[in-house]
Chain A
Amino acid sequence: MNNLEKPSSTNHNNRYIIIGVSLLILTILTVWTSYFTATVGVSIAIALAIATLKGSLVASFFMHLITEKKLILVILFFTVIFLFALIFLPFSDTMNNVGIPNDY
């Protein structure tokens, strides 16, 4: 019973469609900006920023995180912290050896 809503979720459907279209536009934007190769760092930053924005839209609206219960949000918050650890801790080690030939 608590899952069915009043038919005014056409508002919700419209919202989803808008998000969907935004995602498509952002995809085009990602591809378009990739052709202007500034420095490597800038390309990565732009691509990552747009991807993060798109990801946030999917997570917040399609996955309803924007109205999700606190427990889920807290768990995801810590997951993201550990994700950053997983990405940056190993890299902080190997980045010291960038450019050194990996051979004998």
Chain B
Amino acid sequence: MTNAEYSRQSFWRQYIFSVDHKVIGLQYGLTALSFLLLGFMLMVLMRWQLAFPGEVIPWLTFVVIFILLGLAIVFLAGKKRPYLALNSLIFFGIAALIWYFTTGEERLPGGIMLPEFYNQLGTMHGTIMVFLGVVPLAVGAFGNYILPLQIGAPDMAFPRMNMVSYWVYFIGGVLMIISFFLPGGAAQSGWTSYSPLADINTGQTMWLVAMLFVIISSLLGAINFIVTTVQLRVEGMTWFRLPFFVWTQLITAFLLLLAFPSLQIGAIMQLLDRVAGSSFFIPAGIIQGGKVLEYSGGGNPLLWQHLFWFLAHPEVYVLILPAIGIITEVVTNNTRKPLWGYPAMVYSLFFIGFMSFLVYAHHMFITGMGTAVTTWFQTTTLIISIPSIIFLAVIVFTLWGGSIRFTTPMLFALAWVPMFGIGGLTGLPLGLAPPDIHLHDTYYVIGHFHYIVAPGSIIAFFAGIYYWFPKICGKKLNDNLGKVHFWGTIIGMNLTFAPMLVQGMAGVSRRLYDGGLGYDHAQPVLFLNEWMTWGAWIIGIFQIFFILNIVLTLRKKSRSEENPWDATTLEWATTSPPIAHGNFITEPFVYHGPYEYNVSVNGQNVPYLPQHKKMDIED
């Protein structure tokens, strides 16, 4: 297809059912960010209940805030940018959903949350954040948009399959939202959907069906990413000249490819238990509400846990590895130094990917597994902490002695380092079986993984968005708004998640509708519930700066230069945004590694040496 033919395609082919990885990446990005916002709001509702149990939720305030945000977007976008204005629908939609929650007797009757609804919120918060928010953003958005550019490819290896991946994910997401409107509401058995509860509880069937779509989307995407990375690297782009971001996407794709099938099978089995009356996970003689249920029995609830966690542990590496990739790009670029230990990073990546399949049952220490099995998983879990330490160490060594530019993306990247450190370190007592007996299923676990995902992955995604925004849109986001966004987010996140570690150590269980109110041992730390709720609101309010920054930047006319960060990697070797068809005007040839900052060429210092530029200083 020539460029002329390409631009004569219909609106639907160019923007809706596009096979261009850049369009698909943006589709994933917008959808994922919307789901992150939705998942966040579900949690805001929960946090009200936890801080002020049994009190009327200010749902109207939340609805009004979202309507105002939507109107602001419409107003700011104006007639000049109608498609930008359309994004207000996301906000109106969330406002409508919150309002819907207050209708009927099953959710927020009189504005007061029912326990069943609390469970729905908790389950869907986790599900939406992990499967519809973080992974699609990390892999579907960042991966799709940036990876082909960084290897010099014209597109993904299978562009049509790429398009299918997005729409299958989209369907899965829509089904998840629809589940709120079904009789009985959404799934309410935790994102971990343990049997036998999930086999017989309401709301789970649609969750399982939606997951089947999400998993298929991931599998197709994983195949695409691997083939693309291996086969479509441009000439000169040898393995050890790849930007580290590409390596993280490659390993992540393998994790998705080989781990998701076990959850696919588990989900099908749980679905059959629910609709066909099978007993894959139902033990004999199971009783609900005093009645013996009509099941043949003979199933094993722990089988669900094994199948689930065989995926879900590699899944958490899927959540963090792309983030580490993004951080590496931003840090090297803003330290103006090569990465300190590139081979160490790559080999650690292989190692963590491999080990991630062997550690999963550290999520099951208290299921009565027996000492030999427990010892295996405990040992492998401690071993798998080593590569993460190497990642952090390499990044710190890279920073050492560099000329650090405190750009907005760099602020997020710098904050990421200690935050991920806290997240990782708090994992150690969980990975050891004896302390895990005390900490399992407490708020300590929630604090641990939120530190990794929120001030971990999400902070990294913010860094990536600020960093690559000029690449995608040809304009830099406003720095002042960015810095405000940064400080509010970091402070809010720490205020929200640090107290969880304290509550957990005091023994407060997770998934409690009343936040520990009914337990003696929780009384001394109950006050932290309010702090955490304030923290959540702080996070929320400061995202407004981010949203407005994007809208204001998109609507302005002036453009930044094509490589405003003076970066070396290939995505900066083309226009911003890259040309629609084939990305590069002429196919680049790669002459050196990805992080040649402040290198000496023929005795002279070169501030940065793009990968596609030959090592002559007369250029």
Contacts and interface: CB of A to CB of B under 8 A. Distances in A.
Do A and B touch directly, given a CB cutoff of 8 Å in the complex?
A: yes
Interface of A: 71, 78-79, 82, 85-86, 89-90, 92-94, 96, 101-104
Looking at chain A's contact residues, the main secondary structure is: helix
Contact of B300 (A78, A92, A94): A94
A103 B297 contact: yes
A41 B306 CA distance: 25
B303 A102 contact: no
B370 A93 contact: yes
A93 B283 contact: no
B434 interface: no
Nearest to B258: A82
Nearest to B298: A102
A86 B285 contact: no
A11 to B, nearest CB: 31
Given A82-B258, A93-B361, A104 B287 contact: yes
B284 to A, nearest CB: 4
B369 A96 contact: yes
A92 B376 CA distance: 10
B278 to A, nearest CB: 15
B386 interface: no
B201 interface: no
B306 A93 contact: yes
B358 A85 contact: yes
A94 B302 contact: yes
> Which range contains the number of B residues in contact with the other chain?
20 to 34
Contact of A103 (B285, B370, B372): B285
A80 B473 CA distance: 44
Given A71-B230, A104-B286, 13 more contacts: A85-B357, A85-B358, A86-B262, A90-B303, A90-B306, A90-B307, A93-B370, A96-B369, A102-B284, A102-B300, A103-B283, A103-B297, A104-B287
B306 A102 contact: no
A89 B287 contact: no
A94 B303 contact: yes
B310 interface: yes
Given A82-B258, A86-B310, A90-B303, A96 B285 contact: no
B128 to A, nearest CB: 27
B354 interface: yes
A92 B357 CA distance: 15
Interface string B263-301: 000000000000000000001111100000000011110
Contacts of A71: 230
B16 interface: no
B373 interface: yes
Interface in B356-384: 357-358, 360-361, 364, 369-370, 372-373, 376
Contact of A102 (B258, B283, B357, B360): B283
A41 B298 CA distance: 22
A73 to B, nearest CB: 14
Contacts of B258: 79, 82
Contacts of A103: 283-285, 297
User: Which of A85, A89, A94 has the largest count of B CB atoms less than 10 A from its CB?
Assistant: A89
A104 B283 contact: yes
A70 B372 CA distance: 36
A94 B301 CA distance: 11
A71 B370 CA distance: 39
Interface string B219-233: 000000000001000
Contacts of B306: 89-90, 93-94
Contacts of B360: 89
Contacts of A96: 369-370, 373
A102 B298 CA distance: 7
A92 B284 CA distance: 22
Contact of B297 (A78, A93, A94, A102): A102
A71 B287 CA distance: 52
A103 to B, nearest CB: 4
Contacts of A82: 258, 357
Contacts of A102: 283-284, 297-300
A93 B302 contact: yes
B84 to A, nearest CB: 43
Interface in B291-350: 297-300, 302-303, 306-307, 310
A79 B364 CA distance: 24
A10 B602 CA distance: 61
A82 B286 CA distance: 33
A104 B307 CA distance: 23
A86 B306 CA distance: 9
Interface in B222-271: 230, 258, 262
User: Which of A92, A101, A102 has the largest count of B CB atoms less than 10 A from its CB?
Assistant: A102
Contacts of A78: 354
A102 B282 CA distance: 9
A93 B300 CA distance: 12
21 contacts: A79-B258, A85-B357, A86-B262, A86-B310, A89-B306, A89-B361, A90-B303, A90-B306, A92-B373, A93-B302, A93-B370, A93-B373, A94-B300, A94-B302, A94-B303, A94-B306, A96-B373, A101-B284, A102-B283, A103-B284, A103-B285
Nearest to B356: A82
A101 B297 CA distance: 11
The 7 lowest CB-CB distance pairs between A and B, nearest first, are A90-B306, A103-B284, A103-B285, A96-B370, A102-B283, A104-B285, A93-B369
A102 B369 CA distance: 15
A71 B285 CA distance: 50
A82 B260 CA distance: 12
A78 B254 CA distance: 10
Contacts of A79: 258
A79 B357 CA distance: 11
B309 to A, nearest CB: 10
Contacts of B358: 85, 89
Contacts of B283: 102-104
B262 A92 contact: no
Nearest to A96: B370
Contacts of A104: 283-287
A81 to B, nearest CB: 8
Contacts of B357: 82, 85-86
A96 B593 CA distance: 52
A60 B36 CA distance: 46
A103 B282 CA distance: 9
A86 B303 CA distance: 12
A94 to B, nearest CB: 6
